[in-house]
Structures are given as structure tokens and as C-alpha cells.
Amino acid sequence: MTEPQRDVFLCDDIEHVDHIMVSAFAADPSFAWTTPFDMPERERWLLGFLHTWHMFIRRHGGFAVMDSSRASAIITEPYHDPPLGDADIKRFHDEITQATGPAAERFITFVELLEEKKPQGLPPHIHWCLGGVLPDRYERGAIADIVNWHKGYADALGLEHYLEASSLGAMERWSNAGFTRVGDPIQMPGGEVELYPMRTYRRSAPSA
């Protein structure tokens, strides 16, 4: 049976997008490393980080896309050429420190490793920073419509997509959406938590 096509739209409801991300990543192994389950006020610090990252992305040209059920969203960051400067990164780290209390050091380590261990030689791409579905409002196919919208958007710009899958399960889901593993896993300190870099390959090539 074919799933119904949903509309997707650019979403400026920051609070709701943040709510989706906190709900989607509450049990995620990467964020269990940054904010262990027994950490006091864990949800506060997790929300603080996700909101700070969301605002950083928007400040530098990124946006969130949501499906019409308002149950799923993806936050993406544009390709920066040249890369963001040291002052921008320092401001981001300072904001993380202010927003995440006792978890700040691990969150800063997390974002630093995502950048430092990013595979070399990637083509110009859109970075899919965060994507999630509300667990209690999951509708089959909802996020697939956002994925398809983004693929068409990137294809029109001549760009690839890149993301870090935060678990083996996530890697399998993104593989089904057309992403391919690239480079080595990104290990958090201790070696027990890994993220998996993935990219797309354009559906059409530019004219010669």
C-alpha cells in the first residue's frame, strides 16, 4: 500500500522543533555519552545543547524542514566555503558552556570530534545535523517526505548530503534513504560510542 504524500515546509517554530529533537534523541547512545542517564537535570542540559546547536545552525544560514503532521523534522546546515572562522566557533562553544552546565565539556568534545574526524575530500554538501520523529506521534513515511524534499533541493544546487548516523540502527535507516557509509567511525572518548559518517551521491550529474 502506498503511503500518502505529506506536505513539507520550512519551520520557524523553534520550540516545537527542539521538542522533536529532545524526544527523538533522549535514548540515543551518543547523547547518553554526553549526558548520562543518571545525570541530574539531564533533559535540561540535553535541551540546552540541542537548542544551542539549532540556533548556531540558523545563525549561519541553516534551517529546519518539518512534515505536515508536525511529528518529524530535519535541521540542516549549508556548505561553508570558506569554513566558519575561529570567532564563530568560540562563540558556539561559549554558548554550549552557558547552556549545558556540568555536561558542557562532553558536548564541546562531541562537536569538536564531529568536525575533526569528518572524512577528508567530501564534495560540497549540505550537513544534516539533526533529524528526528516524535516517538509518540510516529507516522510511517513522514520523515521520508522530508528526505525526498531535501534530496531534490540539494540536487538543484549541485550539492551532496552528509550526516553522522548516531547508532547502527540509525545507519541502517539512513542507508535505506540512500546514504552510504564513508570514512571511519567517529569514536567518542572511551571507544564505546561511535557515530558513522554517511553521504549521498547525486542523482544527476551537471552538464559538461
Full DSSP string of 154-170: HHHHT-EEEEEESSHHH
Q: What is the pLDDT of residue 205?
A: 44
In 19-146, the DSSP E strands lie at 63-67, 72-77, 125-133
Q: What is the pLDDT of residue 94?
A: 98
Q: What is the pLDDT of residue 141?
A: 61
Tell me the mean pLDDT per 10 residues along the chain, length 208: 65 97 95 97 98 98 93 94 94 98 98 96 95 76 82 90 94 92 96 94 53
Are 14 and 59 in contact by the 8 Å Cβ rule? The answer is no
Q: What is the pLDDT of residue 113?
A: 97
Q: What is the pLDDT of residue 73?
A: 94
Sequence-separated (6 or more) residues with CB below 8 Å from residue 159: 79, 123, 124, 125, 126, 202
Q: What is the pLDDT of residue 105?
A: 98
Q: What is the pLDDT of residue 32?
A: 96
Q: What is the pLDDT of residue 128?
A: 96
Helix, strand or coil for residue 41?
coil
Q: What is the pLDDT of residue 207?
A: 40
DSSP 8-state code for residue 105: H
The model's pTM is 0.91
